[in-house]
Structure formats: structure tokens, C-alpha cells
Amino acid sequence: MTGDDTNDGDHAHDHGDGYGEHDSAPNDPKVRARALQSLLVEKGVVTTDAVDAVVSAYEDDIGPLNGARVVARAWTDEAFRERLLESPSGTIADEFDFAMGIQHMQVVENTDDVHNVVVCTLCSCYPWAVLGLPPTWYKSPEYRSRVVREPRTVLEEFGLELDDDTDVRVWDSSSEVRYMVLPQRPPGTEGMTEAELAGIVDRDSMIGVGTVTVES
Amino acid sequence: MTTDESAEGSSSTPSDSLDDDVGRVLEDLQSAGLVGGDDDRPVFDAPWQARAFGLAVTLHREGRYEWPAFQQRLVEEVDAEPPDPTGDRDAATREATYYRQWLTALERLVVEEGILSAATIEERATEFADGTRDASEFVDGEHGHGHDHEHHHDH
């Protein structure tokens, strides 16, 4: 990832890195970052490979795909689903290769009668290990206050129409408990494999501001 | 929101697992309300931001400092220039501001820990800024295979 501004010695390119133009100021963050890495590599304190590995771990290994895999397994493996609802952290740690950041998780299941939605009214606690980084709106004061006060209206704004008799439950996350919604498996997915199912589960459905749908 | 550093979310002890270390760092940043990144945008808006992130975490993993020491300085930098509460600046600008603060925090810590001197950093930055030095130089030193003009665009 950082490769593209370490190897392009002479040309400016579309990332606006601009160092090839020789007109940057020494206090330009691009220049500062470059200077720091240059010196630290030279002194043998870090290697470029180690720095790049951290970046790709951040970009590729942590994200909503993890949550989608959990949901897909719960849809296809009844015993896993039961254990997941019972004790999410241990169950995920047992069956998946990501273990960090799930210690305080709780999974709430959508059914025909109940729709769950997650918020953090205090700040922006979020199960990032399974959902990646929180979207901007999740952190907005508006969402945080309104979804508690008028969840149906907020969900409608997200394009989610719920039956009047559906019970809407709002879960307030904290540093002690991070909630993830287990969405309902949509009809028409009976023939799909676990991996295919993971591909249709999106972030919003696991926050509860959306449902999982299949394109027909 | 927790201040309990003994909890399993604490990042003070680097492990063998890179994902776990990055995860702990994110956990700590998030607890302090310091996570960057927005919506469906790429996590990093420019290579220098990825570099700033990667360097700070790598130095911590190499045992050069405890993560809370970095985070403390990041908090100070963010507090000195808080994000626009009205949120009307665009996401890319917010992201750039965040990583600029991140970088300043990192530079301060690197100097305080005696890893590099402020003067050395200044001198090197000036060399990059005026073009005396370009990127290929340290990439060569790092890999030593003379492939400085190879491109590794991965997007």
C-alpha cells in the first residue's frame, strides 16, 4: 500500500503525493511521513515491509467481511447459531481466525416479530472486529439520539419499512457490550453456499439499519 | 470509554500476531474516540496517511514505546485542534487533518524517546521537500535489489 509512494521516485502521480515536484514545504505531512520512515529504516528501527504489513492488516484483515462470515455460518449451521447467541465471543473465537475485539460482544437476532438496531448513545462504541470501522452517520449526534427516540422514523429514512406489529428493539452499546445484529436470511437463498451467503450480508444489516436482500 | 488498561483490550503488550496487535490498537483508539476512517471510503485517503499509521504501530510493535504513550500525544494534538463540530468539512479533509495530527504526535514521541532527534528529522524533511533526496534512495537501501523504479501499485 505504501509501495506506491516509495517507488515512484521521479514522477508525481494521482495520489497527490507530489514529492516528485520538488515544491513541497518541509512541514507538508507527506514530506514529514517520508522523512520519518526514511530515517527509521536507515537506522534499522523499522523495515518498509513491516510498515506495509501493518497497513495491509488494517485495510484487509479487519472489516465487515468477518461479520458477514459469522452471519452466513449462523444461517447454515443451526448448532453454531445457538452457540453464537448463547456465547458469541467464545463461539467466534473457536470457529474463526479473528479473536481480537470480540470479547464484549453480544449478538441479537432478528425474527419475523423482532427487529434489532444498534447504537452507541454515549460515543461510538462499535464491534469493529466484525464490522470494520463505523460509518460516519453511526457517530453522528443525530443518529445517536434519534434512533432511540424515534427508531421507526430513522429506519424508514434508511429505506427500511417494518410492519406495524414488528417489535423494534434498540440496543445501546458501551465499552462493556458491543452489539451485532444477526439479520434474517432472505427468502430465495436456499441454494446458496455459506461463502455465497457471506457475500450478500452487508454492514448495515448487521447494525440493523438494513436487511439482507438478494438481487433478483 | 474504559480506562482499565489491564483489560484484554489493552495494547501495551505486543504479541506475535500482527492482526491482534492492530486490533488492540484499534480497540484502544476507538475507546478514546480516536478512530479515523469514514463510511465506505478507503481507510486511508493518501499513501502518507497509511505510512503514518504503519510507522506508529510498527514502532510500538518493535517495543519502542507503549501504545498509550502514543495515544496520549494524539489526544493532545486532536484537542489542540478539535474536529469541526458542525461536520461540514468533507471527509477527505477531516481524514487529512486527523493523520496530520497523528504524524505530529508520532514525531514528538520519536524525539522524546530519543529514537531520532528533531534536527535530524527537520534536515531530512528539508531534503525531501527541496528534492535533494527522493524516495528511491531509501527504498534501495531497504531492499538492495535496485528495483527502485518498479511500480507496486496494488489498486
Cβ-based contacts of B30 with chain A (< 8 Å): 124-126, 128
A120 catalytic? Reply is: yes
**pLDDT at A1 (0 to 100):** 46
Cβ-based contacts of B62 with chain A (< 8 Å): 45-46, 50
**pLDDT at B53 (0 to 100):** 93
Q: Which of B26, B37, B142 sits opposite A48 (nearest CB)?
A: B142
Kindly give the confidence (pLDDT) of every residue in chain A, 216 residues in length, as a single tens digit, with 9 standing for 90 and above.
Answer: 444 444 433 333 344 444 444 557 888 999 999 999 999 999 999 999 999 988 888 776 666 778 999 999 999 999 999 999 999 988 998 888 766 566 778 999 999 999 999 998 887 677 877 887 677 788 888 999 999 999 999 999 999 999 999 999 999 988 788 899 999 999 999 999 999 999 899 989 999 999 999 875
- In the predicted model, is pLDDT for residue B90 greater than 90? no
A175 catalytic? Reply is: no
A125 catalytic? Reply is: yes
Which of residues B81 and A43 earns the better pLDDT score? A43
Q: Which residue of A has its CA nearest to B55?
A: A51
Instruction: Kindly compute the dihedral angle of the four CA atoms of residues A120, A123, A126, A128, in this order, to the nearest 10 degrees.
Output: 170
**pLDDT at A16 (0 to 100):** 43
Q: Is B23 within 8 Å of A66 (Cβ atoms)?
A: no
Q: Which residue of B has its CA nearest to A37?
A: B55
Q: Which of A5, A53, A123 sits opposite B47 (nearest CB)?
A: A5
Which of residues A23 and B75 earns the better pLDDT score? B75
Q: Which helix (H) or strand (E) holds B102?
A: helix B91-112
How large is the greatest C-alpha to C-alpha distance in chain B, in angstroms? 50
Taking an 8 Å cut-off on Cβ atoms, the answer to whether A135 and B62 are in contact is no
Spatial neighbors of A82 by CB under 8 A, at least 6 apart, are none
A123 catalytic? Reply is: yes
How many whole angstroms separate alpha carbon B155 and alpha carbon B34?
Answer: 27
Beta-carbon contacts below 8 Å between A and B:
227
Which of A16-20, A90-94, B20-24, B96-100 is predicted least confidently? A16-20
Cβ-based contacts of A122 with chain B (< 8 Å): 1
Spatial neighbors of A8 by CB under 8 A, at least 6 apart, are A17, A20, B135, B151
Alpha carbon of A150: minimum distance to chain B alpha carbons (Å): 22
Whether B43 has its CB under 8 Å from any CB of chain A: the answer is: yes
Taking an 8 Å cut-off on Cβ atoms, the answer to whether A32 and B135 are in contact is no
Taking an 8 Å cut-off on Cβ atoms, the answer to whether B27 and A100 are in contact is yes
* Chain mean pLDDT for chain B: 75
Which of residues B9 and B107 earns the better pLDDT score? B107
Cβ-based contacts of B67 with chain A (< 8 Å): none
Instruction: Kindly compute the dihedral angle of the four CA atoms of residues B71, B76, B77, B79, in this order, to the nearest 10 degrees.
Output: 120
**pLDDT at A6 (0 to 100):** 42
